[in-house]
């Protein structure tokens, strides 16, 4: 039986944040999330069920627009609910560099080229919960060894933690 993945959208754009800011990319927005953040703008009730081959075909139809090695950004929702190492391997075999944007509440596939984590706990905003440095550093337990870690700072707290191969 072929695995079906729930996809909100697949689109070509420029990465707007983190290490790859300004880079052309194909975004795959997965439906579904394990949090219910009040500020989230993703509609989870509408999606297409797609096979890996269908996703790959749609990514390939727009990736030729990229001026260098194509970047695929897996986002959501929460992509770790649906993405596994086999899916990342499939993208790698077709010449794509693979990044993921995650809320950091679940382990991510270890074969990603870049992982951006936007820390969230129980759907609350950082400033409302008084997140400490130790809580942000605790996210590192999900990151595989040998990855470089960098933070983009916002208002004294880590907005995003980026993890990628050095």
How many distinct structural domains can be found in the chain?
A: 1
Q: What percentage of the chain carries pLDDT values higher than 70?
A: 69
For residue 113, is pLDDT > 60?
yes
Residue 115 belongs to what H/E stretch? strand 114-117
Structural tokens at position 1: 């039986």
Q: What is the CATH number of the domain that holds 58?
A: 3.20.20.70
Cα Rg of the chain, angstroms: 16
**pTM score, two decimals?**
0.75
Over range 68-96, report the average pLDDT.
Answer: 93
Q: For residue 142, what are the domain limits?
A: 5-164
**CB distance 81 to 30 below 8 Å:** yes
Q: How many CA atoms lie less than 13 Å away from 145 in the CB half-sphere?
A: 0
The CA distance from 93 to 70, in Å, is 12
Least confident span in 40-44, 74-78, 140-144: 140-144
């Amino acid at each position: 039986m072929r695995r079906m993945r729930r996809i909100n959208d697949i689109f070509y754009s420029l990465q707007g944040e983190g290490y790859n800011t300004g880079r052309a990319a194909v975004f795959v927005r997965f439906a579904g999330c394990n949090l219910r953040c009040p500020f989230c703008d993703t509609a989870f009730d509408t999606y297409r069920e797609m096979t890996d081959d269908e996703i790959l075909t749609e990514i390939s139809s727009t990736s030729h627009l990229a001026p260098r090695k194509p970047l695929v950004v897996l986002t959501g929702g929460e992509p770790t609910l649906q993405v596994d190492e086999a899916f990342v391997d499939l993208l790698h075999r077709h010449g794509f560099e693979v990044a993921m944007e995650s809320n950091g509440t679940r382990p991510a596939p270890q074969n990603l080229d870049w992982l951006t984590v936007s820390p969230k706990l129980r759907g609350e905003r950082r400033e409302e919960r008084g997140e400490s440095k130790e809580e942000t550093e605790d996210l590192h337990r999900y990151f595989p060894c040998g990855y470089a870690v960098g933070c983009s700072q916002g208002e004294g707290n880590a907005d995003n933690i980026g993890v990628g191969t050095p």
